[in-house]
Structure 1
Amino acid sequence: MERTRTVRWHDAAATAEAAGTMAGLDFLHEMIAGRLPGPPIGALLGFSLEEVEHGRAVFSFAPGEEHYNPIGSVHGGVCATLLDSAAGCAVHTTLPRGTAYTSLDLSTRFLRPITLDTGKVRAIGTVISQGRRTALAEAGLYDDRDRLLAHATSTCMLFPVG
């Protein structure tokens, strides 16, 4: 049976512009509070930023059929996107105003299949090490019983905005 899904999001340009005007942690707090819209990728995949503190970011995600690969589990690319978001936003929480980041690499390990029966999952990212030009972060994807479903490490490049 055919299914449909409608996705709505806000223009990403205004949010991206705001990112360069405030410290990373303040920016992400504004997003969680709803004063800045979340990124379009969150609307597309159905995940959201739930909490942040210095060096840590947590996303939540409820898997749906629209996330499935051909063999009936959530596609690894969806999991990698969640892990990349959690690791990257953990780095973002540490950045001063006028500094941005981008992922240089992402190494992922998928440990358990994720299906509708898995229920809501959390991606928790933490900063491991940070220098002037790069930061290393890790992220884990957990089910509601705190079982590790997937893990990633990421190196992010730090650079001035504007």
Structure 2
Amino acid sequence: MGRTRTYQWEDPAVSAEAAGRMAGIDFLRELQAGRLPGAPIGYAIDLRLDEVEPGRVVFSLTPGEEHYNPIGSVHGGIFATLLDSAAGCAVQTTLPQGMAYTSLDLTVKFLRRITAETGTVRAVGTVVNKGRQTALCQAQLVDTKDRLLAHATSSCLLFPVPPPQG
């Protein structure tokens, strides 16, 4: 017998447009409060933005079998998505209105297996160093006992938001 999962999302253009009109930390707080629609990927994997502070964010996810790879554990791409989101959004909290970022690289070290029995996991992202054009950030994925499950580092390119078209 097959299993199904249904989810829906809102127009991502709404949030993308709003991102250029406010400081990064304000934008993330609006997402966290539900006043702006979250990213479609968040709905697809059930990712939650739990904490937003300057230079630090926390995302969480409760793993289920819908996140599994063929060998019965959470797929590494789910780990990477959590870590990339946390690291990049930590950088975003430091950006003024009119600035944006994109990940240049992501290096992930997988340390422990995750299954549905692991329980809720948290990705804690922090800024290591921020310059004018790039930022270095990291994220740690931990379980409810604060055991380290995975670690990532990322470099982000910082750039001005292009002006609205039309």
* Normalised-by-shorter TM-score class: over 0.9
Match of 1:99 in 2: 99
- Structure 2: stretches of 5+ with no match in the other structure: none
Match of 2:148 in 1: 148
SS in 1 for 2:153: strand
Number of residue pairs the alignment of both structures matches: 162
- Superposition deviation, residue 37 in structure 1: 1.1
Q: In angstroms, what is the RMSD of aligned CA positions? A: 0.5
Output aligned runs, 1:1-162, within 5 Å. Answer: 1-162=1-162
Query: Structure 1 CA distance, aligned partners of 2:16 and 2:67?
Result: 26
What CA deviation, in whole Å up to 9, does each residue of 1:36-61 have, x standing for no partner?
Answer: 11111100011111111000010010
SS in 2 for 1:49: strand
What CA deviation, in whole Å up to 9, does each residue of 1:65-89 have, x standing for no partner?
Answer: 1100011000000100000000000
- Using the size of structure 1 for normalisation, the TM-score is 0.99
Query: Structure 1 CA distance, aligned partners of 2:37 and 2:17?
Result: 12
- What one-letter code is carried by the residue in structure 1 that aligns with 2:68? Y
- Superposition deviation, residue 7 in structure 1: 1.6
- What one-letter code is carried by the residue in structure 1 that aligns with 2:2? E
- What's the % identity of the aligned pairs? 69
- Structure 1: stretches of 5+ with no match in the other structure: none
SS in 1 for 2:88: helix
Query: Structure 2 CA distance, aligned partners of 1:64 and 1:76?
Result: 14
- Using the size of structure 2 for normalisation, the TM-score is 0.97
Query: Structure 1 CA distance, aligned partners of 2:79 and 2:70?
Result: 15
Runs of 4+ in 1 over 3 A off after TM superposition: none
